Structure 1
Amino acid sequence: MIKHVTTVDQSDRKVPYNLRQSGPTPVQMLISTRVRKSPYWHLSMEAGCWRATVYNRIYHPRGYVKPEDGGAMVEYEAIKNHVTMWNVAVERQIQVIGPDAEAFVDYVITRDATKISPMRARYIILCNHMGGVLNDPILLRLSKDEFWFSLSDSDVSFYLQGVNHDKRFNVEIDEIDVAPVQIQGPKSLALMKDLIGDQVDLDNMPFYGLAEAKVGSRDCVISQSGFSGEAGYEIYLRDATLYADDMWNAVLEAGKKHSLMVIAPAHHRRIQAGILSWGQDMDNQHNPFQCNLGYQVSLSGKGEWNKSANYVGKEALEKMKADLQSDNKPYKLQLVGMTFGGKPVEEYAPDFWLISPAEGGEPCGYITSPWYHPEQKRNIAMGYVPFDGSLSKNGFPIGKTGQKFKVHLPDMYSDTPGVPVDAEVVSIPFTESFNANTREVSKATA
C-alpha cells in the first residue's frame, strides 16, 4: 500500500500536499473538448510536441524532444546557447478596464499599483483575506485605465469578477483574446530585432517595459520579460484565435538564422533562477513569507514596503510580518533552496520527494522542484523544511544555509536504492538572472 506521509507538519493547511510516493503513472492524456486547445496548439503539434499537461484548463505543451533523442536537456542547451520559443497561451489574459482600473487593481494586489507606469509590467501577487497566495501573474499596464493580468495556474478571472460583484469599482473585467509566446535565450534580442525591425528601440527597452508592434503583420504587445532567468521577451498577440499562424510562422522564419528551437517552458532554468511555479512551489494555502515572496507584501518601491492603501489580505499579512520580526513563527514550513546527491535528475518529478533530518528519522519536509544543474554538476531543488525563524538582512524569512538534511529519491536516481542522499540548504537563486528581479535586488532570500 502506498501511504500518505503524516510526519511532515502540515497542520496549518486545510488540504495537505499529497505526499504519497506513487511514481510515474503509465496513463494517456485524454484530449477532448472539455479542456481548451489554445490558438497555438496545432502549431505546437507541428513543432513536435509529444507530451502535455493542463494549465488554466488549457492544454499545455511540456515536451518536444523525446527522451530517446536527449529529452529536456536538449531543450536546456537551446535556451542556454541559442534562442527558444514557448507556447504559453495557457497564461490567460484578464483585462481590467475603466475609470477605476487603477483603484481596483491596487485593492487586489499586495504591491502598490499606483507606482506602475503605463506601458510597464511587473511581477505581482494576489492574496485572499487570510494571506494565501491566489496567483502570481505578470501585470501589464497598457494605459492609465487598462491593465492585463497574465495569469499563472489558477482561476483568478472568476475571483476578480467576484470581488467586483457589486460594481463598486467602475471597471469591466473579462478574459480577452490575447495569447502570449515567450522568446527566451541569449540570441533573443537579435531575433527580436530581425522580427520587428525599427518599430521598437529594443536596445533601450527596460526590463518589464512594454511596446506595441506588429509581428507577421499582426498587432502585438511586446514585453522584455520571461519565466527563465535568461534574456528574453514575450509577444502578446491580439485576436490570437484569428491570427496565431501569422505571428507564429513569422517568428519561425526570423529565427532560422539564430538556431531557434520551439521548446517547453524551461523549468530546469527557472528553478536555477528561483522562479516559482504556482501549484507546485506554492498555492492558496501558502502565505507569501513562507515561499520567498514576502518582499511583495506592501511593496511600494525599491527597498520600500510602505504601501498605505488597503488591499485584500493586508491585515493578515502585516500581522504575519510583525510576528516574524518578534521571533514568532506564524507557519510551519519554509521554502528553501537545496543541493542534493544522487544521479542527475533530468526529468520532471512525479511526486513530492521526502526530506528527513540529517541524523535520520521520519520525513519532515518535501521537495517541490528538483533538477540537475549542468554547469554546477549537482542536483538542485526548492522544497519545504521546518521553519527555524531565520531571517534575511531585510527581515524576510529564509532557510538556514548550511543546514543538512536527507532526501529520499526514487531508485532510478539513488546511488544506493532505499538509502537517502545527503542534502544541504543553500541560497536562492542558484544562477543569477540576466535581468535581476525584485527578489534578487531586495536580497529577500539572502
Structure 2
Amino acid sequence: MSDAPLLRTPLYDRHLTLGGKVIPFAGWEMPVQYTGIVQEHHAVRKAVGVFDISHMGQFIVSGQEAQAFLNRALTNDVTKLEIGQGQYSLLLNDQGGVIDDLILYRSSAKEFFVVVNASKIAEDWAQLQSLLREDEDVQMANLSDVTAGLAIQGPQSRAVFEAVFGTEAPFPPHNSLFVSAGEAGFMWLCGTGYTGEEGFEFFMPASTAEAWFDRFVEAARAQGGLPCGLGARDTLRLEMGYPLNGNDLYPDKTPLQAGLGFFVALDKEDFVGKAALVEQKAAGLPSKLVAFKMTGTAPPPRPHYPVWFGDQVIGEVASGTQSPSLGCGIGMAYVPYEAAGIGTTLEIEIRGRKFPAEIVKKPFYRKGA
C-alpha cells in the first residue's frame, strides 16, 4: 500500500458540489457514484452519462521514427493507423505479461496521442523510455498533469455533442481522433469509450475542465442523462466483457490468455514480449479468461471469490458484479484451458457457500436482446 497522498482531478470540487461519494481509486480521489450506481448505469444504457476520466494518462510520441518505435513497443500493428484513427493495444513485459492496455491514436504522420490507465502512468512512461534508442528520432511528452478528460456515453451522446459543439461539428466516428488548438491549448476528441454505447471522449487543458464539465452535465441532464461515477463505469464495462487492468490483466498473464489475441499482431516484426507469446501459443494456453453468469439466485460475485470445478478450486473471480441490465451476477475468471469451454458449469464460493454459474460468450449484454 502506497503512503503517497491521493491525487485529485481538476473536477474534484465539482464532484463534491454534485453530491458525489468520493473514494480512493488508482491513487486518486474519484467519485464512485452521485445518485446511485444502478441509476447511473441505466442512464448510460437509455440516455447518456458524463464521466470524469481526468485521472487517466496522456502521452505524445512524435518524430520521424515514432511509428517504428511504437510498433516495437506495442502489440497491435501501428502501421495500419491512418491519420485520425485509433486502435486498442497493449504494452507487455519480456515474458509477454500485460503491463497496461491503452488506446493509441495517430494525430499526424509523425505524431501519436496515447491514453493510458491512471495507475500505470509512471510505469508505462518508464517502460517506453527504456525502449528508446539513443539514435532514434523519437520525442516523448507526458501531458497527464496538465490535461483533463471527460467521457460522454450513451444513445443520446450525439445530442449532447451537438448541444455543446454545435450541429456543424462532425460527431467522431468509432476509433477516430480530431485535434484542435484553442486559446488555452490543445484539445483531443476521440470516438472511443468503455461502456459499449455510442459516445466519445474529450481531453482538454486542465484549466478549462470545470467549464467544459458544467456544459456537458447541463446538456446531458436535458437529455435525461446524469453525471456518472466509477461504479457505473465498472458495471457497464463488465457487461461488455471489457477487461480492467489490475483485475483482469496482470503482468503474469498474457493477452492471449486474456482473450485479446485480436489486438496482437504476431505477424509483424519483433515487439516486446512477442517471443514469449509465440512460445505460449505453440505450447498451448495454461489458462484463459472466461466470462461466467450466475445461473440461480445468488449474491453478486466479487473479485477473489474462489471458483470451483467439481471438487477443486481452479481459480478466483477477477471481476464480478450484479448486472443492472440483466438482473443477475456476472464475472470473469482465469480457469485452466480444459475447463474454459462455453457452457461449462462452475461454482462460485460466496461467503462459504457455493453457487452455480455457467461459462458464457462475451459480451454479457447485447442491445435489444
Q: What TM-score do you get using the length of structure 1 for normalisation?
A: 0.75
Retained in 1: the 8 A contact 2:88–2:263? Answer: no
The one of 291, 300, 306 equivalent to 1:354 is 306
Relative distance call for 1:104 and 1:217 in structure 2 (3 A) is closer
- Correspondence for 1:311: 271
Superposed CA offset, 1:284-317 (max 9, x none): 111111111122221xxxxxx632x221111111
- Correspondence for 2:66: 101
- Correspondence for 1:21: none
Amino acid at match of 2:203: Y
The one of 91, 94, 112 equivalent to 2:77 is 112
Aligned residues: 360
Q: Which runs of 4+ in 1 moved over 4 A?
A: 213-219
Matched, 1:322 2:256: no
Retained in 1: the 8 A contact 2:106–2:112? Answer: yes
The one of 189, 197, 201 equivalent to 2:158 is 189
SS in 2 for 1:195: helix
Matched, 1:371 2:339: no
Q: What TM-score do you get using the length of structure 2 for normalisation?
A: 0.90
- Correspondence for 2:360: 426
Separation in 2, partners of 1:170, 1:269: 41
Q: Which runs of 5+ in 2 are unaligned?
A: none
Relative distance call for 1:408 and 1:272 in structure 2 (3 A) is same
Separation in 1, partners of 2:260, 2:246: 15
Separation in 1, partners of 2:167, 2:183: 14
- Correspondence for 2:14: 43
Matched, 1:180 2:149: yes
Superposed CA offset, 1:99-140 (max 9, x none): 221111111011110111111111111111110111101112
Retained in 2: the 8 A contact 1:60–1:88? Answer: no
Separation in 2, partners of 1:82, 1:217: 31
SS in 2 for 1:103: helix
Q: Which runs of 5+ in 1 are unaligned?
A: 1-28, 66-70, 299-304, 390-398, 411-417, 435-446
Relative distance call for 1:216 and 1:292 in structure 2 (3 A) is farther
SS in 2 for 1:388: helix
- Correspondence for 1:337: 291
Question: Structure 1 residue 199: deviation in Å?
Answer: 5.0
Matched, 1:383 2:333: yes
Question: Structure 1 residue 380: deviation in Å?
Answer: 1.3
Retained in 2: the 8 A contact 1:106–1:113? Answer: yes
SS in 1 for 2:7: coil
Report which of the two has the higher share of strand: 2
Retained in 2: the 8 A contact 1:50–1:64? Answer: yes
Tell me the percent identity: 25
Matched, 1:402 2:355: no
SS in 2 for 1:182: strand
Superposed CA offset, 1:337-395 (max 9, x none): 111134353xx93x4111112x3x34221111112234433221111222218xxxxxx
- Cα RMSD (Å): 2.5
Matched, 1:78 2:66: no
Matched, 1:201 2:170: yes
SS in 2 for 1:201: coil
Relative distance call for 1:248 and 1:103 in structure 2 (3 A) is same
- Correspondence for 1:160: 128
Separation in 2, partners of 1:255, 1:216: 25
Separation in 2, partners of 1:136, 1:271: 16
Separation in 2, partners of 1:234, 1:99: 28
